[in-house]
Structure 1
Amino acid sequence: MTEHTYFLGVDGGGSKTEFVCIDATGTIKARALTGTTYHLEIGMNETVSRLEQGVAAICGQLDIQPDALGFVFFGLPAYGEDSVIDPQLHAACRSLLGHERYLCGNDMVCGWAGSLGCQDGINIVAGTGSIAYGERQGKTGRAGGWGEVFGDEGSAYWIAVQGLALFSHMSDGRAPKGVLHQRIVEALSLGNDLDLCQRIMGPAAMGRSEIAALAGLVSRAAADGDTGANAILASAAHELAALAISLRTTLSFPPEERVPLSWSGGVLLQEPLVRNAFAKIVDDTGLFALAEPLHAPGYGGALYAKRLAHTGGGRFSASAHKV
């Protein structure tokens, strides 16, 4: 493309949404940040509003109109999982851009594209939620990402919920009181332990991202020797490794091939107890070649937009990113 040399990637997450725009050389020309675009938490109207804000901020920095964007990839949380909502998101993105040079997909693609530079292999996302995405010779696949109600194992939200469950066991004597108990009391300013119910489930209940942030309490308690907290992090590592192993089979990698495996999201990037245990589990299988992330997911989304621009976006569709 010549007249349209900007490529925008939108990495929607459970806590924030990053907009990264690059030129034809891959140089970052503009960035913007908004809150989460997880429509299940904030609703469609607010999701679209935040997408509009981000695109407008990018165009403002570059002094262009959306029509000057050569291609845009919207990586959105939970996209591909609701046959009613997906077309609405797709139409909203068309409306705010005013052209057809875009694709909506799941934000898992941004993590993979950034970590592996759009090359074949698997990426594990472990942030507010968790999911695995990979590609092999044009075939795409995912594992996990079923949401916080009955899935997202190994994610920050999952770790936090396991920690809250452990707190309840510590409180009523089903488990010995470890460091985690007092950490939660202090962090949530609990007058008594049962106040936790109101904080999590009451009229002014904590949101998804707020609950996920409590995972840090579990990590710090584990680092200070809380055996129950340590067990939660070990379990998280096993759950994330299981995603990689399952997806490797789905994508039909040959048994002898050591598949490039990378990661993104705060749990694996910022929690060494989880990352080191995860790395050991997958390395011991002999099935993977661990690869340090090349780029952040936001940049990955922009790289993916650039790739789509040069392939015409023809073989890519929302359904292609769902197994």
Structure 2
Amino acid sequence: MALLSGTGPYFLGVDGGGTKTGFVLADEAGTIVASHQLGPSYYIQIGFDGLHELLAEGVGTVLAAVDASPEDVAYAFFGLPAYGEDSHAQAFLDVIPEAFLGHHRYRCGNDMICGWAGSLGGEDGINIVAGTGSIGYGERRGKSARGGGWGEIFSDEGSAHWVAVQGLNAFSRMGDGRLAKGPLYDVFMEAMELKVDLDICGAVFGREPPSRDKIAAMSQLVAKAVEAGDATARSIFERAGFELAAIVDAIRQQLDCPPDERMRVSYSGGMFRTGQLILDPFSRHLRALNPAYDIVEPLHAPGVGATLYAARLNRLALQPG
């Protein structure tokens, strides 16, 4: 947990995700006074009770760090994965924070907003998130739109989960001869300590259905295979870049942005920690779709973005220090 001294009232931001959840507390001057990180807040994976426990623990930890209480929170924003994608679940998600905050000075929304608010400082533009899952969100002249993020079974293209599944598929094809063996095969064999390649079925499925974050972590093996010179692995990242660019361009259309109008685009999520491996194909495909994109480095992390958005909901513009 990171800690700085500060005085309330505070703005609380929660950046949820399929692998980790960040809790950030900022004062009215925009100074980050406390932060904490816990595991996944994907309610489909951990359940409503698990989500309640995780959020209560994280909020309690950052408030305790500055000897504050929930009453000291001027406003909070909870960016939660899969929020807004199930009308029945949304009613439950919306009331969870009230139980430990004891007031209604908060709002829940999709975690895509955290990435956008952080990367672009809450200004017009589009942010693409490629973490465990993938999703994009943008705003232009008061209009907002999202793209992608339909879930890992039939969407989340370009995400860590998607890249890992493509890598596993390539491994299986290499294993039975449908695809010539390349370095990817050896990377998976060694990293997963497989005696024979079919052992990967037990390693992935085990006795329980594989968790979303466990599969997503295997994207690192695909990246390692690229470094080892595997052409199939590189083609997976090439397609990932294309898919992420397509999400951004779909959002641009929804925002009624004229073809020749400049549009800022930024990015967030663990996939972008691979650097140019994903940024190069993403940038190339995006500009092929429309040369009027300006790709900019993220200004702040999504957790900070959540505090910015919380302040905005309270009609205050923070300037993070």
Query: Which TM-score band (shorter chain)?
Result: over 0.9
Deviation digits for residues 224-275 of structure 1, max 9, x if unmatched? 2101111111000000000011100001112221100000011123342111
Secondary structure in structure 1 of the residue aligned to 2:154: coil
Does 2:179 correspond to 1:175? yes
Structure 1 equivalent of residue 308 of structure 2 = 303
Gaps of 5+ in 1: 312-323
Aligned-partner Cα distance in 1 for 2:114–2:27 = 17
Query: How far has the Cα of 1:205 moved from its partner?
Result: 4.6
Match of 2:164 among 160, 179, 184: 160
Query: How far has the Cα of 1:18 moved from its partner?
Result: 0.3
Structure 2 equivalent of residue 8 of structure 1 = 12
**2:71 counterpart letter in structure 1:** D
Aligned-partner Cα distance in 2 for 1:26–1:137 = 25
Structure 1 equivalent of residue 149 of structure 2 = 145
Aligned-partner Cα distance in 2 for 1:260–1:297 = 17
Deviation digits for residues 119-151 of structure 1, max 9, x if unmatched? 010000001100000011221110000111111
- Does the 8 Å contact 1:199/1:205 carry over to 2? no
**1:122 counterpart letter in structure 2:** I
Query: What is the TM-score with the length of structure 2 in the denominator?
Result: 0.94
Gaps of 5+ in 2: 1-6, 317-321
Aligned-partner Cα distance in 1 for 2:8–2:277 = 45
More deviation in 95-104 or 107-116?
95-104
Aligned-partner Cα distance in 2 for 1:182–1:286 = 39
Structure 1 equivalent of residue 121 of structure 2 = 117
Aligned-partner Cα distance in 2 for 1:23–1:288 = 34
Change (3 A) 1:150 1:132: same
Query: What is the TM-score with the length of structure 1 in the denominator?
Result: 0.93
Secondary structure in structure 2 of the residue aligned to 1:134: strand
Aligned-partner Cα distance in 2 for 1:283–1:255 = 12
Aligned-partner Cα distance in 1 for 2:213–2:17 = 10
Structure 1 equivalent of residue 253 of structure 2 = 249
Aligned-partner Cα distance in 2 for 1:182–1:26 = 48
Does 2:209 correspond to 1:208? no
Aligned-partner Cα distance in 2 for 1:53–1:244 = 35
**2:276 counterpart letter in structure 1:** P
Structure 1 equivalent of residue 234 of structure 2 = 230
- Does the 8 Å contact 2:242/2:286 carry over to 1? no
Deviation digits for residues 166-216 of structure 1, max 9, x if unmatched? 000000000000101111112222221111122222314542111111111
- Does the 8 Å contact 2:163/2:236 carry over to 1? yes
Paired residues for 1:16-55 under 5 Å: 16-55=20-59
Aligned residues: 310
More deviation in 292-301 or 187-196?
187-196
Aligned-partner Cα distance in 2 for 1:177–1:52 = 48
Aligned-partner Cα distance in 2 for 1:157–1:28 = 31
- Does the 8 Å contact 1:94/1:100 carry over to 2? yes
CA RMSD of aligned residues (A): 1.5
Structure 2 equivalent of residue 277 of structure 1 = 281
Structure 2 equivalent of residue 62 of structure 1 = 66
Match of 1:217 among 216, 221, 240: 221
Secondary structure in structure 1 of the residue aligned to 2:29: coil
Sequence identity of aligned pairs in percent? Answer: 49
More deviation in 190-199 or 78-87?
190-199
Aligned-partner Cα distance in 1 for 2:96–2:39 = 18
Match of 1:91 among 91, 95, 109: 95
